[in-house]
Structure 1
Amino acid sequence: MPNRRIVALGGLACGLAALAAPAAAQDMMRHVDLTSPAMAGAETDRAAIEAMIREAGGKPLDLSGKRLSGLDLSGLDLRGANLRLARLNRTRLAGADLTGAVLDQAWALEADFAGARLPGASLFAMQARGARFPGADLSGARLVADLTGADLSGARLRDLRGGADMRNQSMGLIRAVLVSARLPGADLAGADLSRGKLDFANLAGADLSGASLAGADLSGADLTEARLSGTLLAGADVAGARMLRLRDAEAIRGRDTLVNAERAIWR
């Protein structure tokens, strides 16, 4: 049953209720009131942020812990900004430059990052369910975050760092969660999504060349026409996955250790 406080959030809650829950260690929403001003409101406006950028003279802004939900910050220069623990729920950051920004533990439910630049950014433990990243650049970003139901269509995710760190799991398995996420045509070449949750994700036509999906959950995922040249799939669960018209399938690494390979759809 969905949390009653989430239901009260209206349109946002309706979208979230349909999304699958991530690993318990990453479910920060369980005891949070998403209707509160701290989560749904803003303590400033765009004009004030623009003034801060001018006054900073090119230095990264410190917006850590700020309440910025619902603002239109599209196109702003936020390179290197510290947005750790910031509230960005339904914030519009389309086309913004967040190169090298820190968004660790930020809340960005249904935020809009369409076409944004986030190369080298850190999104550790970020809550971004239902967020939009179509055409965004997250090359080399650290994405150990919850992007359940997010739209990353055509996004650039080369050398993404989303693998679980098995040396630091005192709170349970913390990993990239892309359950039911949309990644058609995404560039994931060289990405590390080992042990990631990608069940029911749409990876149709994605480039996974040289990527690691070792131990990942790909059950029910759609990999139709995905490029898998040198892709590591050792121990990945592909139950019900659509493995149709794969490109460079002969170059898959670890194919003989796939879990539930007989339950995948191959052609």
Structure 2
Amino acid sequence: MKKKAKLGSKSERGVSMLFAVLIVATTLVAALGIGGLMVAELKAAQAVDDSERAYYASEAGIEKALLQLKRNPEYQGEESLTLGNNARFKYDAVVGGSEIGESLVKDESFQINLFDPDEPGKDLGIREVEIRWKLGEKFGGSDADPWLEITKVRWPKGSISFGDPETDQKTEKELHALGESPVTIAIDTATYNWRLRIKTLYNGAEFTAKAKDEDCKYINFPIPLATITSIGKYSNSARGIEVRAQQGTRLLGVFDYVLYSEEKVEK
């Protein structure tokens, strides 16, 4: 009986040790798993931070190119620069004015300015704008035909502002089905300044716009269209921005400032 009791005691101690080993092993596995997750989260957070810095560098490249184009409307070139926070950007700017084209997703719009911001009283010689379009990027895989909503805003010569909305400014809106392409929009830049807004409905569309003179001959848009591509890099992250706009067009508020580095700005 005494020997059996000793055997039972040893067996219980063995089971206890086994449980202890299992608990330690489980704890180690859990600790390693949690540690791995923490490391992964730290790396992800660092990647997000690097990506944001790369995006800011890309914005700085856009601003640098816009400054070059403001100084010289015919500027075309490529430039790279390293910022104070070790981020860097590289951009190239291309200017052309024979036609204006863009690929728009559903409900996206594009603006065309038909006036010279430096000489608002100048006649650009445009009497018609011909717009062609076709199915572009499908919205949700839909094969629906894209329509164009064309909004025309005009105001008297002599000012780049819209004028008094009650007396001077006039807005007209047209809707055109895909089957109507191409459409001709009557424009008279001799007596009015104009803005056209082209918006896609029901699906994405690719469009091109060309200007015609009083003899119905194609002419270049007098206001050049600039395409700026900027790639910002920081550490292993890279972000790109592309801007397409006519000279003198005011861009979104995000481009109302210059961000070259994280250094203190002296005013």
**TM-score, normalised with respect to structure 2:** 0.19
Instruction: Write 1 or 2 for the structure with the bigger share of helix.
Output: 2
- From the two aligned structures, give the one with the greater strand fraction: 2
Higher Rg of the two aligned structures: 2
Q: Which has the higher contact order (CA 8 A, sep 6+)?
A: 2
